[in-house]
Amino acid sequence: MGPPPKTAGRAISQQTFDEVVKENIDDLGMDPAEALQDAIETLTLQGVDLFGIVTCVPGEGGNPVIQCLDRLRQLDCSGENSRNGDELVTLLDELTELCNSEGSGNAAIASRNGAVELICSVCSKVSIGCQGVKVSALNALTLLLNDLQSREVFRASGGPKLVVGVISDGFENIDVLRSGFSVIAAAATGNEVIKESFMELKTDELILRALNVKSEGSLDSLYDAIRILLTPDDTRVLASQVFGYARKFAKIGIAEALVDSIRAGLSSPSLVSASIALKAVAVNDEICTTISENGGIDALLLCIDDSGEQGNNNVAKVCCSLLCKLAGSDTNKNAIVEKGMDRLIKLSGRFSDDPSVLQEIMALISVLSLRSPGNAARAVEAGAGELAIQAMQNYPMAPLLLRNCCLMIRNLVVRNAENRTIMLNSGVEKCIRKAKQTHASCKEAATDALRDLGLDDYNL
């Protein structure tokens, strides 16, 4: 769950807010409710960001998040045999539940009141054997690291080194792995410096080791960590290093390990996450070729077959998207056409009622046909032309699907005069013109398709 929108105002501490309310009561003689409302209105007018502040009268009731943090601070969690282990787990699980309450703002309240530093301290003090405490602490951290400020506090508290150490020490525990990689994904989101910190701590080697662990438990968080570490999502930096990280991942064997995960998990709920992670690693021709050489294309085509039989549109979309990425290599392109073109057409029949799947199939066939008249001929022979026309007729109000159809049609005909004749005789011109007139987002692709079909009035 993502955090709610925040204002760009200046921040104050909980203590400062409480003092303003107290001054209204003691110095101005306001009643508690009036003092609270005046403090909120005054500070808001001054441009103060009250997100994460407990806006209640000090001393009245008490916020459960603050109470939970206060109790955590009171416990001694050091020593080889922490006597307070059970209570620590209870409190940390309570904090996790509070922070996971949708719309409550509890995660922001906890972060504003030192929860990130506190939990990092707990993790560093408890003994290696207290894995239950560490798992609960990591679960809470995952929810707390939801904005730039909390992630920076995590970094300043030695969080990256701490989490990598917890995972390394508890590698035999699937819960430690799952929770630890969840923290890595949360902390590295939108933060290039933290990504770099994890890479300096050889997190790539830790990931490879985890991928090679045969476990019955789901490790979606591991795949999420791979994806986040390889996503250039920090808008504060001009040039991200994630492309280099992806090459490093591939160099040590993570691409091959992900292929093994996909091959072994045809019916696994983690299949989608593993495929998205592999797509993040496949950043150049060499890596795409390596994935193919290790059976990646064959594994994905089996997944596509299975997705059609099971009616799993998520798997179908993700696998087509990954094949589209792999098709950036000409060698892979030919292999996909040879082994998979008929299967893609069959898949489109299975999901003829789902435009979101069809648009991924169109995108893939478009890439497969790019600068390849032979592949374009094979695609039309398999039925790609009829597929495009049917899709455009059936979904006239699906602009992304229509645009992908136009792009595919262009690649099918631009270097293949025979395909041009076949497509025009099938009535494709009418479909393209309708898409062009109906959707502004289709105009450019439709114009290009009409031009490459050989029509003189393509600009009309």
Output the pLDDT for position 82: 52
Based on the domain organization, do 250 and 331 belong to the same domain?
yes
Task: Count other C-beta atoms under 10 Å from residue 426's C-beta.
Answer: 14
- Provide the number of structural domains found in the chain: 2
Give the amino acid at 337: V
Q: Residue 55 falls within a domain, yes or no? A: no
Q: Residue 418 falls within a domain, yes or no? A: yes
d(CA 192, CA 118): 24
Q: Residue 324 falls within a domain, yes or no? A: yes
When pLDDT is averaged across residues 103-129 and rounded to a whole number, the result is 89
> Which domain-ending residue is among 346, 368, 390?
346
Based on the domain organization, do 453 and 363 belong to the same domain?
yes
Q: Is 207's pLDDT higher than 70?
A: yes
Based on the domain organization, do 410 and 425 belong to the same domain?
yes
Angle ∠(78,83,85) on CA atoms, nearest 5 = 80
Based on the domain organization, do 292 and 316 belong to the same domain?
yes
More confident residue, 314 or 6: 314
Residues 150-177 have pLDDT tens digits of: 999 999 999 999 999 999 999 989 999 9
For the ranges 51-55, 208-212, 269-273, 314-318, the lowest mean pLDDT is seen at: 51-55
Residues 338-392 have pLDDT tens digits of: 999 999 999 999 999 999 999 999 999 999 999 999 999 999 999 999 999 999 9
Based on the domain organization, do 304 and 382 belong to the same domain?
no
Task: Count other C-beta atoms under 10 Å from residue 269's C-beta.
Answer: 9
Based on the domain organization, do 430 and 358 belong to the same domain?
yes
Q: What is the pTM of this model?
A: 0.88
Based on the domain organization, do 342 and 368 belong to the same domain?
no
How many secondary structure helices (H) and strands (E) does the chain include?
Answer: 27, 2
Output the pLDDT for position 81: 44
* Dihedral pair phi/psi, residue 283, rounded to 5°: -100, -10
Output the pLDDT for position 451: 97
9: phi > 0 → left, psi -120 to 50 → alpha, else beta; which? Answer: beta
pLDDT band at 3 (very low <50, low <70, confident <90, very high): very low
d(CA 209, CA 202): 11
**Percent of the chain at pLDDT exceeding 90:** 73
Q: Residue 396 falls within a domain, yes or no? A: yes
Based on the domain organization, do 398 and 422 belong to the same domain?
yes
Q: Residue 295 falls within a domain, yes or no? A: yes
**Percent of the chain at pLDDT exceeding 70:** 95
For the ranges 17-26, 144-153, 370-379, 410-419, the lowest mean pLDDT is seen at: 17-26
Q: Is 19's pLDDT higher than 70?
A: yes
> Which domain-ending residue is among 331, 346, 361?
346
Q: Is 78's pLDDT higher than 70?
A: no
Output the pLDDT for position 50: 76
Q: Residue 113 falls within a domain, yes or no? A: no
Decide if 449 contacts 406 (C-beta within 8 A). Answer: yes
Based on the domain organization, do 341 and 359 belong to the same domain?
no
Q: Is 38's pLDDT higher than 90?
A: no
When pLDDT is averaged across residues 138-161 and rounded to a whole number, the result is 96
Based on the domain organization, do 372 and 458 belong to the same domain?
yes
Q: Residue 152 falls within a domain, yes or no? A: no
Based on the domain organization, do 377 and 458 belong to the same domain?
yes
Based on the domain organization, do 330 and 390 belong to the same domain?
no
Q: Residue 256 falls within a domain, yes or no? A: yes
> Which domain-ending residue is among 304, 321, 346?
346
Q: Which domain holds residue 342?
A: 245-346
